[in-house]
Amino acid sequence: NAGVMQNPRHLVRRRGQEARLRCSPMKGHSHVYWYRQLPEEGLKFMVYLQKENIIDESGMPKERFSAEFPKEGPSILRIQQVVRGDSAAYFCASSPLGGQSYNEQFFGPGTRLTVL
Amino acid sequence: DQQVKQNSPSLSVQEGRISILNCDYTNSMFDYFLWYKKYPAEGPTFLISISSIKDKNEDGRFTVFLNKSAKHLSLHIVPSQPGDSAVYFCAASAKGSQGNLIFGKGTKLSVKP
Convert the pLDDT of each residue in A16-56 to its tens digit. Answer: 999 999 999 999 898 999 999 998 888 999 999 998 899 99
Convert the pLDDT of each residue in B28-62 to its tens digit. Answer: 999 999 999 999 989 999 999 999 999 999 999 99
- Residue A98's pLDDT band, with cuts at 50, 70 and 90, is confident
- CB burial string A12-25: b at 16+ within 10 A, e below: ebeeeeebebbbbb
- Residue B19's pLDDT band, with cuts at 50, 70 and 90, is very high
Convert the pLDDT of each residue in A55-81 to its tens digit. Answer: 999 999 999 999 999 999 999 999 999
Q: Could B43 and A31 be called an inter-chain contact, meaning their C-beta atoms sit closer than 8 Å? A: no
A40, B105 in Cβ contact below 8 A? yes
- Residue B1's pLDDT band, with cuts at 50, 70 and 90, is confident
Of A43, A101, A107, the CB nearest to B32: A101
Cβ-Cβ contacts under 8 Å, A44 against chain B? 103
A78 contact B CB<8A: no
- 3 state DSSP class of A86: helix
Residues in chain A: 116
A87, A115 in Cβ contact below 8 A? yes
Q: How far B50 CA sits from the closest chain A CA (Å)?
A: 9
Average pLDDT on A4-19 reads: 97
- Residue (of A84, A88, A96) closest to A16 by Cα position: A84
Of B43, B96, B99, the CB nearest to A98: B99
- What gap in Å lies between CA A94 and CA B63, rounded to an integer? 24
Q: What is the CA radius of gyration of chain A?
A: 13
- What gap in Å lies between CA A38 and CA A43, rounded to an integer? 8
Share of chain B above pLDDT 70, in %: 100
Residue B59's pLDDT is what?
96
B81, B60 in Cβ contact below 8 A? no
B42 contact A CB<8A: yes
- What gap in Å lies between CA B100 and CA B92, rounded to an integer? 8
A52, A69 in Cβ contact below 8 A? yes
Residue A40's pLDDT is what?
81
Cα separations in angstroms, A66 against A24, A32, A62, A104: 17, 14, 9, 24
Higher pLDDT: B99 or B5? It is B5
Which residues does B40 contact at the CB level (< 8 Å), separation at least 6? none
Residue A1's pLDDT is what?
53
- In this structure, the dihedral spanned by the alpha carbons of residues A28, A33, A38 and A44, taken in order and rounded to 10 degrees, is -140
SS3 content of chain B, % helix, strand, coil (to 5): 5, 55, 40
- What gap in Å lies between CA B113 and CA B92, rounded to an integer? 32
Name the amino acid, one letter, at A41: E
